Amino acid sequence: MADTESRPRTLYIIDGHAQLFRAYHAIRSLASPVTGEPTNATFGFVGMLLRLFRECEPDYVVMTLDISGDRGTFRSQLYPDYKATRDVPPEDLHPQVERCTQLCNMFGVPVLSAEGFEADDVIATVCHALADEQDLQIRIISRDKDLQQLVDERTAMFDIHKDETLDQAAMESDKGIRPEQVVDMLTLMGDTVDNVPGVPGIGPKTAAKLIRQYETLDNLLAHLDDLSGKLKANIEAHQDQLSLSRELVTLRADAPVTFDLDAAAVTAQPTEALRATFRELGFNRHLRDLEALGEADTTGAQPAPPAPAEVGGLFADVAAAETGSPAPITTDGDYRAITTQAELDDLIQTLTRHVADGGVISIDTETDSVRPMLATLCGVSLAWEEKAAVYIPVRSPDAAQHLDADTVVEALRPLLEDPAVPKIGQNLKFDINVLRRAGVKMRDAAFDTMVASYLIDAARPSHRLDDLALGFLGHQMIPLTQLLGAGKHQITFDQVPLDQAVPYAAEDADITLRLRNVLAPQLKAMGLTDLLHDLEMPVVDVLAELEFNGITVDPDELDRQRDVIQKRIGELHDQVIETAGTTFNPDSPKQLADVLFNQLGCKVYKRRKTGPSTDVEVLHRIADEQPPPGSVVASLILEYRQLAKLAGTYLGALHGAIHPQTGRIHASFNQTVAATGRLSSSDPNLQNIPIRTEVGRQIRRAFVAQPGHVLLSADYSQIELRLLAHLSGDEGLSEAFEQDLDIHAAVAAEVFGVPLDQVTAEQRGSAKMVNFGIVYGITPYGLARRLAPGAEASDNVDEAKRIIDNYKQRYPRINEFLDRCVQTAETKGYVETICRRRRPIPEVNSRNGNVQALGRRMAINTVVQGSAADLIKLAMVRLQRRIESDPRPMRMLLQIHDELVFEVPIEAVETEADVARSEMTDAMDLRVPIKVDVAWAENWMESK
């Protein structure tokens, strides 16, 4: 075990905006391959954070941020010209600040800020608050000269990028001044960046020289007669403003922030949430560094920091778990436990009266798992007025302290199951299924703060309760790891003592109520209230139903497929070695590059910093253009990689996701992830199961119906093109759909100017690429790459441009519609779908050409794809209501892209197929026919 007492504890304070600005300007434009959001500053910031954890081994970490802007602080009130000359921050930086705040929360790093104060003041406040922590060393990660006034015997500045520390000794030797003299030096020299007035002609060197000679500014002013010439004249002429300058550069240590040192403690442990976010952002290199953190020895770690409420976070409270003495929990609410029958009866009466008077009830559940289908109810939190809430425990370390689960559930059932009782929550889909497993079927909830936040700003990096509380209320919530710890020492919520559980659990319900009171007026002002109540809240119920139903998976079929694939992987491995004529590791890009380019003489098509690339595009080109044996090796490697990914990423993950009791996979369906409004799935991600190759499609064979049933697939046909015809009003495209023509052949006939019956397969393929690419803002270069994947795109750009130009000429109203989408984004800052769902697109007005082009594509894609999302959501709501009201024998199991999957008794499948087709077709009234393809079989693959 590491000896944690052999060195002082260290707290690293990150000057957030300084690090983000540095990363933004140091790294070229980057964007997430999934969301399209800018990521250059985020990438650099995360790299800094990982380096901090890896190389500095901090005991505590906290970040500070400015939230008041340059013109909203007490300094700008003192001096209106303060920072008035600063440039407006880049528009694509702000969303990255929010994303980095989210990542800090996921890493377990508290983020501190204070209205009316700058981040530097917050840092000063934290340092001052920790003055009695004698064994604590503080390192401020910043190069801001203003912060040098905070340096003392245990506080130093730290440049993490140069690994340079500026402590008291270094300051005196390098600058010749002491930390307590920094304010006087800054006062004399002023600051042109912040527009702080100084004495003209006095720069850093002169200011330092004068302070070294006279010790203090006051002493210098008392001895002005010692000076002469222009220097004396300038100081005398500007002496009256020096007191103002001194006040502007002096950091205040009274910022209204509360900092709990224990809440900033760290110990490395990667989480699935972090891994998923890194993959979403395209941070593959950082993902490797993240995993390396998890492999490090953390046995000497300190207590835990904040983390997301859903999981323990990257950093955990090991010491708290070991000692049973977590840090004190403080809240600003009146929270209490309900532990007796009398208290429960009084509560029910109070809630009943409250609802009768038109009030709402905020509800939250605590469980022993983050997976609702595996979770056991530990307690229920309720709030009905702000800053007050109750927690009703049903499982804790001492069952004698409270009521049992059956008693509580039965008492709450009338209120929770009554659709007339307005219930609100955060991520209610989770609570619905937790309560359903406990015996309560809560439906028709009135308001979900997570969904409301998403509707207000779909581009917001996080809609977690902790982040919403911080962003909308300025409230730092109690971190879950303060109660549970993490890693091998992590406990579950039923093991948390009640005095710790009550404030944490009750705060969730209270903050949710407060957020609802803030978000509801914003929704109304934006005209989104109907969208929430009429569509998105009913969808919450439908998704809860899908997750509860799950889908049966045959583990034997998964094993069979894995055995077949592993055998083929082994054969491919041997063929690669034999064909290459040398022994090497095909999984190593470096060794593969050496074989292909050095030993087999293949052409290098692309280079990276580490050497020639062997990515998929390069391998395809080698396979198509280079002579054997290099072309053969590339082809074999392509198949080898594809099968290895299938075996590891899909077959293995699916096997582990099968519920031990139900034998089904209960994936999560996410309503607030894709900015277009599309639903996504996770744990596992069923949308990512490959279907373009035969071996990939075979995976769907393992998804089966229960005995006596079949899986019914109902899939919208070419729905985005049909919506494009509807939204644009283009007569040519609409007519093709009305006549039920082969749409790709019909478009090819128009674009290439040939009769429909003479369209070649190649022409149809080109038209298909344009049809599906047009809503994604396809460019001539992009189409050229698709037309000839193995050739230089530049060779086909002219042909691709001709095809796109012909398309726009033959379908002019489509081009007009695309232009309107972009113009709307430019003038309003957002676009809307058919159901008036909004997506802000600030990128479209960026001065950065690449970012602006991205914004134009997002504007077009969002309107069409988002409208497709509206349509299938409407269909899901209609179908689920029909299933429950009739009632019908089918169960909805999955939503994948434009497809719904049901489980239906064999004898009823034809009737239920008609019901599914009818409800999906009638879900929206378009000017072109909506077509739904239905099919059924015993397994998912054969139902397509």
Q: Which domains does the chain possess?
A: 9-249 (3.40.50.1010), 334-550 (3.30.420.10), 553-665 (1.20.1060.10), 673-730+830-944 (3.30.70.370), 733-810 (no CATH)
- Which pLDDT belongs to residue 511? 96
Q: What residues pair up with 840 in beta bridges, in sequence order?
A: 830
Q: Does the pLDDT at position 303 exceed 60?
A: no
**Which of 252-268 are b and which e, b meaning 16 or more Cβ less than 10 Å from the residue's Cβ?**
bbebebebbbbbbbbbb
- Which pLDDT belongs to residue 316? 26
- Which pLDDT belongs to residue 68? 62
Beta strands (DSSP E) in 7-128 are 9-15, 60-64, 111-112
- Which pLDDT belongs to residue 294? 65
Nearest-10 crossing angle of helices 555-580, 630-645: 160
Between 407 and 99, name the one with better pLDDT. Answer: 407
Closest C-alpha among 231, 196, 180 to residue 86? 196
Query: Whose structure tokens read 């283009």?
Result: 730
CA atoms within 13 A on the CB side of 368: 14
Question: What average pLDDT score do residues 31-60 get?
Answer: 87
704 alpha carbon, distance to own chain's centre: 32
| Residue 787 banded pLDDT, cuts 50, 70, 90 | low
- Which pLDDT belongs to residue 315? 24
Handedness of CA 226, 228, 232, 233 (dihedral sign): positive
* Cα 49–Cα 51–Cα 52 angle in degrees, nearest 5: 65
> 323 exposed, middle or buried (CB, 10 Å; 0-12, 13-18, 19+)?
exposed
At a CB cut-off of 8 Å and minimum separation 6, what does 491 contact? 321, 484, 485
- Which pLDDT belongs to residue 329? 56
pTM, full prediction = 0.67
- Which pLDDT belongs to residue 299? 34
Q: What residues pair up with 140 in beta bridges, in sequence order?
A: 13, 157
Lowest mean pLDDT among 237-246, 490-499, 779-788: 779-788
The CA distance from 59 to 12, in Å, is: 8
Lowest mean pLDDT among 95-109, 127-141, 256-270: 256-270
| Residue 305 banded pLDDT, cuts 50, 70, 90 | very low
The CA distance from 534 to 536, in Å, is: 7
The CA distance from 893 to 912, in Å, is: 14
C-alpha distance from residue 644 to each of 398, 594, 687, 941 (Å): 49, 21, 19, 21
Cβ–Cβ under 8 Å, residues 523 and 532: yes
- Which pLDDT belongs to residue 326? 43
Query: Whose structure tokens read 């798992």?
Result: 369
Q: Does the pLDDT at position 545 exceed 90?
A: yes
Rg of the chain over Cα atoms, rounded to whole angstroms, equals 31
Q: Does the pLDDT at position 141 exceed 90?
A: yes
Question: What average pLDDT score do residues 384-411 get?
Answer: 95
634 alpha carbon, distance to own chain's centre: 36
At a CB cut-off of 8 Å and minimum separation 6, what does 609 contact? none
Q: What residues pair up with 553 in beta bridges, in sequence order?
A: 703
Q: What residues pair up with 904 in beta bridges, in sequence order?
A: 710
Q: Does the pLDDT at position 532 exceed 80?
A: yes
Mark out the alpha helices in 92-167 (DSSP H runs). Answer: 94-107, 119-129
Question: What average pLDDT score do residues 705-717 get?
Answer: 96
Average pLDDT score over the chain: 86
The CA distance from 348 to 407, in Å, is: 13
Query: Whose structure tokens read 């378009």?
Result: 926
**How many C-beta atoms lie closer than 10 Å to residue 77's C-beta?**
11
Q: In what helix (H) or strand (E) does residue 548 lie, and over which residues does it extend? A: helix 537-549
695 token code pair:
């071996």
- Which pLDDT belongs to residue 486? 67
Q: Does the pLDDT at position 6 exceed 80?
A: no
| Residue 308 banded pLDDT, cuts 50, 70, 90 | very low
Lowest mean pLDDT among 216-220, 410-414, 546-550: 216-220
288 token code pair:
């490797």
The CA distance from 560 to 555, in Å, is: 9
- Which pLDDT belongs to residue 245? 85
Question: What average pLDDT score do residues 317-323 get?
Answer: 29
- Which pLDDT belongs to residue 763? 85
Highest mean pLDDT among 209-223, 259-273, 618-632: 618-632
What confidence tens digit (pLDDT) does each residue in 880-922 have? Answer: 999 999 999 999 999 998 999 999 999 999 999 999 999 999 9
| Residue 794 banded pLDDT, cuts 50, 70, 90 | low
> 633 exposed, middle or buried (CB, 10 Å; 0-12, 13-18, 19+)?
buried
- Which pLDDT belongs to residue 415? 95
> 96 exposed, middle or buried (CB, 10 Å; 0-12, 13-18, 19+)?
buried
Closest C-alpha among 134, 166, 133, 132 to residue 150? 166
Lowest mean pLDDT among 308-312, 466-470, 610-614, 803-807: 308-312
Instruction: Report the percent of the chain where pLDDT is more than 70.
Output: 92
